[in-house]
Amino acid sequence: MTNLTWLWIPFTLVGAAGQVARNAMQRGLTGPLGTLGATHIRFLFGFPFAVLFLGAILFATGEHIGWPASGFVPWLLAGSLAQIAGTALMLAAMHEHSFVVTTAYLKTEAIQAAVFGFVFLADHLTGMKVAGILIATIGVVLTALRPGARGFGNLRPTLLGLFAASFMALSAVGYRGAILEVKGVSFMAAASFTLAVALLLQTLVLSAYLLARRPGVMISIFRLWKPSMFAGFMGAFASLFWFLAFALTPAANVRTLALVEVLIAQVAAHYGMKQTITRREIAGVVLILIGVGLLVAG
């Protein structure tokens, strides 16, 4: 597998592009379905595609997967539940804020992972890393400020986006931990198996909640099955490539390279959604990119 580790780079780039498309589709469904309903479509409609991906990979490789090691379930639970929370917070932020600005908030995920590592794992922070964290934080503040307003133009979407990034960082670490517990098979089989089980768990959790608390949302989801199907496919497609990258390199590397998503989101928002991107927002995004770049270089 050593000579294939470079594949995490194209895997990450494909995953980033697919994620922008999925986020845009989910954002459009937040209105009719609500935050939880739009969150659920990526799991409910993504699971069948994940099973197809797993079946295709196992057929192509001729491999068979037994039940993974004991650490698989705890890591998977951590990754799956954190992703549900992170996705719901992300969509809530996008519903109240610019698509590009929310994406910029989400890109603080790498910064927060560095802070979590320092606090909980005693990871060493160099001067360059500290500088990167400060510069990127200034970038986040710059994108959130509104002319003529005192402080943040609206604190709620800012906090939603930042907390979404926190849960996404925890999710990435959890998924990589789960993938590494699938022994004796190729990285492709391990990644696709973990994705399928994760989506099954997430589908069961959110379906049970919605059926018990908001059955009307489930009905609305199936009424909008056509756009939901596409969002589900794009979600499973993007996640497969994320998981393949996680199988080959630490989650921090993947999430750092995934910053290209900010640039892809700018293009999507400007040309696809006709959203205006101000110079201040562009400057903020640039500072976030510079800050995370210093974080990695340090």
pLDDT in tens, 23-49: 767 666 767 777 778 778 888 999 999
Q: Does 174 fall in a domain?
A: yes
When pLDDT is averaged across residues 80-96 and rounded to a whole number, the result is 80
Q: Does 183 fall in a domain?
A: yes
Q: Does 213 fall in a domain?
A: yes
Output 273 or 283, whichever has higher pLDDT: 283
Q: Are 184 and 57 in contact (CB under 8 A)?
A: no
Q: Considering only CA atoms, which of 206, 126, 117 is closest in space to residue 169?
A: 117
Q: Does 50 fall in a domain?
A: yes
Output 200 or 231, whichever has higher pLDDT: 200
Q: Does 142 fall in a domain?
A: no
- 33-47, 145-159, 236-250, 256-270: least confident range: 145-159
pLDDT of 203 reads 94
pLDDT beyond 90 at 292: no
Q: Are 281 and 38 in contact (CB under 8 A)?
A: no
The range of the structural domain enclosing residue 237 comes to: 2-110+152-251
Q: What's the CA angle centered on 247, arms 245 and 251, to 5 degrees?
A: 65
Angle of helix 127-144 relative to helix 279-297, nearest 10 degrees?
160
- Number of domains making up the chain: 1
pLDDT beyond 60 at 273: no
In this structure, what are the phi and psi dihedrals at residue 182, rounded to the nearest 5 degrees?
A: -90, 100
Q: Does 74 fall in a domain?
A: yes
Q: Does 287 fall in a domain?
A: no
When pLDDT is averaged across residues 92-111 and rounded to a whole number, the result is 69
Q: Does 104 fall in a domain?
A: yes
Surface-to-core class of residue 243, CB atoms within 10 Å of its CB (0-12 exposed, 13-18 middle, 19+ buried)? buried
Output 11 or 291, whichever has higher pLDDT: 11
